[in-house]
């Protein structure tokens, strides 16, 4: 990283701006809508912290791409910035963190498509069972990571049961990035 202090025509003459060049590489597949699970791995001044999430809205029949959640989680909209809020509540300024890694798996299920003549209520009837399966997987992943010794910022609430084969696939894929998860069998 290169840091340079420079005078800027847009700033008062007694102010300085510290600018540095950064790069974000995003795989094109992360733009695909659908039902995904993801884990944020955040390098904070207080050590590594995780946040577990999913795509697939609870209040609407939509399932967005994980890339969309990136900006929402770290933005300033109180309705969508749970990662920023949890970091702040833990005494960590998000801007002070060394790195944010988003590890996503999916789409596990396709987004439920809506036809022109389909009512929103009809689409929710199709969306809700898939969303509930994802919520169960999200909770299981969060709880398994916490039980395996990782510091997880969020708590996931779901009373739904997940499919054992789906859970095994999820656990196996995330074990690549979180090796202790593979030694934990809830």
Model confidence pLDDT, tens digit, residues 69-79: 888 878 788 88
SS (H, E, C) 148-186: CCCCECCCCCCCCCCCHHHHHHHHHHHHCCCHHHHHCCC
Cα 141 from chain centre = 12
Residues with Cβ within 8 Å of 135's Cβ and at least 6 positions away in sequence, in order, are 54, 56, 58, 156, 158, 160
Model confidence pLDDT, tens digit, residues 9-44: 555 555 667 899 989 899 999 999 999 999 999 999
pLDDT of residue 1 exceeding 50: no
Distance CA 59, CA 160 (A): 17
Distance CA 179, CA 42 (A): 17
19 SS3 class: strand
Residues with Cβ within 8 Å of 110's Cβ and at least 6 positions away in sequence, in order, are 34, 35
**Domain extents in the chain:** 28-178
* Helix, strand and coil percent figures for the chain, each rounded to 5: 35, 20, 40
Average pLDDT for the chain:
88
Average pLDDT of span 99-105: 96
């Amino acid at each position: 990283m290169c840091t340079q202090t420079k005078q800027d025509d847009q700033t008062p003459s007694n102010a300085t701006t510290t600018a540095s060049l950064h790069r974000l590489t995003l795989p094109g597949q992360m733009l695909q809508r659908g039902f995904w699970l993801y884990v944020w791995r955040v390098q904070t001044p207080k050590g590594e912290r995780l946040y577990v999430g999913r795509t697939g809205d609870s209040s609407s029949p939509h399932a967005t791409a994980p890339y969309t959640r990136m900006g929402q989680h770290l933005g300033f909209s109180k309705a969508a910035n749970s990662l920023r809020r949890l970091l702040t509540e833990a005494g960590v300024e998000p801007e002070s963190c060394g790195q944010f890694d988003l590890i996503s798996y999916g789409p596990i299920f396709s987004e439920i498509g809506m036809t022109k003549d389909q009512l929103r209520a009809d689409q929710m009837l199709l969306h809700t069972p898939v969303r509930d399966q994802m919520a169960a997987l999200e909770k299981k992943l969060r709880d398994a990571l916490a039980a395996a010794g990782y510091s997880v910022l969020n708590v996931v609430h779901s009373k739904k049961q997940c499919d054992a084969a789906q859970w095994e696939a999820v656990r196996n894929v995330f074990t690549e990035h979180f090796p202790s998860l593979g030694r934990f069998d809830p």
